[in-house]
Amino acid sequence: MTKTPHLRRAMLFMPGDSLRKIEKAIGLGADSIVMDLEDGVAFSQKAAARHTIVQALQTLDFGRSERLVRMNPVGSELAEDDLRSTITGRPAGYVLPKAEFAEQVEMLAEFLTLEERARGWPAGQIKILPIVETALGVMNVREIALADPRVDALLFGAEDLAGDMGAVRTSAGWEVFYARSAVVMAAKAYRLQAIDQVYFDLNNLEGFEAECQTGRQMAYDGKMVIHPRQAEIAQRVFAPSPEEIQRAQRIVQAHEEAQAAGLGAFALDGRMVDMPVVRMAEQVLSKAKAAVNGDR
């Protein structure tokens, strides 16, 4: 179980300086909409983007989509202005790029605590979602995950990591596979959601779907997406299929019948079923229920 029931199968990033694109993202029904102040916005447009994001937060109906802001890295000359400007719109959380130390998370959490207290908002409501995308961040991922109760998910950034290491980026992704595994492992160890890397080839939707499948197999809960065409695919792949749901229902029902008969492990369709298999089936059904509720 994660700390929050909110689904993040698709976290759709939109440049914060375009109200039109933010409105378009809302219409897609993505689980999370991330209004960007970092890489997606030119330096000369940062101030305008802050104004646009506040306007969006205060005037647009996001429906069931989570309202997030990706700020600039803590410690940068832009971060304080990002926070002081956009907090007035009361976003659901901040995506924290270049997370490398617990102290960065703690500094952001302290700011949010003071703002919530001053504005009379419920304590701890605004979440922090660090992006682990440097070699140092990967080495410190445990400390980042545990830095503050506001941390709600860990995001993995492969492109920045490859650049930080000087690695050659490939479609196979072996150069970042250790880090990709380390981030999802830390997330699961500390009951956080894990959100997978961006896929940059916008014309290769088959490749995008295949990478989503791999991420799901690794236990990622969702994916960062940068184009509207990717959002539907991510939300479909990171939800159980009808076949998986049916299989899980049969396992749970057979388990209940076996327990009533005084049996522990049992066979179903020629395969042994024990408690780890039952727990996995229960997780499938829980995700399926959340997906149905989230898509309403």
In a domain, 268, yes or no: yes
Q: Is residue 231 part of a domain?
A: yes
Same domain, 207 and 67: yes
Is pTM, for the whole model, over 0.75? yes
With residue 245 as reference, give the H or E element that holds it: helix 242-260
CATH number of domain containing 159: 3.20.20.60
Contacts of 244 (CB under 8 A, 6+ apart): 284, 288
Q: What is the dihedral of CA 41, 47, 50, 51, to 10 degrees?
A: -130
> Rounded CA gap, 164 and 160, in Å?
6
Say yes or no: 224 and 117 in one domain.
yes
Please name the residues in contact with 212: beta carbons below 8 A apart, sequence gap of 6 or more.
196, 223, 233, 234, 237, 238
- If asked whether residues 162 and 227 sit together in one domain, one would say yes
Separation in Å, CA 285 to CA 2, 234, 246, 291, 292: 15, 18, 9, 10, 11
3-19 mean pLDDT = 87
Do 210 and 253 share a structural domain?
no
Same domain, 121 and 70: yes
Residue-level pLDDT at 5: 57
Q: Which of 191, 215, 237 is the last residue of a domain?
A: 237
Would you say residue 261 lies in a domain? yes
Q: What is the pLDDT of residue 102?
A: 98
46 with 182, same domain?
yes
Residue 12 pLDDT grade (very low, low, confident, very high; cuts 50, 70, 90): very high
Residues 40 and 66 in one domain: yes
User: Considering the domain boundaries, does residue 103 fall inside one?
Assistant: yes
Q: What is the pLDDT of residue 153?
A: 98
pLDDT higher than threshold 80 for residue 282: no
Residue 177 within a domain: yes
Check pLDDT > 70 for residue 152. yes
Q: Over the chain, what is the mean pLDDT?
A: 92
Tell whether 3 is covered by a domain.
Answer: no
**Residue 275 lies in domain:** 242-294
- Same domain assignment for residues 105 and 226: yes
pLDDT band at 246 (very low <50, low <70, confident <90, very high): confident
Flag whether 113 is in a domain: yes
- pLDDT tens digit sequence for 206-220: 999 999 999 999 999
Last residue of a domain, one of 190, 222, 237: 237
pLDDT, mean of residues 123-127: 97
> What does the pLDDT read at residue 78?
97
- Same domain for 23 and 159, yes or no, is yes
> For the segment 42-95, what is each residue's pLDDT rounded down to a tens digit?
999 999 999 999 999 999 999 999 999 999 999 999 999 999 999 999 999 999
Q: How many domains does the chain have?
A: 2
Residue 1 lies in a domain: no
* pLDDT higher than threshold 60 for residue 19: yes
Residue 121's pLDDT is: 97
Q: Do 211 and 93 have their domain in common? A: yes
Q: Do 132 and 36 share a structural domain?
A: yes
Co-location of 199 and 249 in the same domain: no
Mean pLDDT of 105-109: 98
Q: Give the end of a domain, one of 237, 257, 284.
A: 237
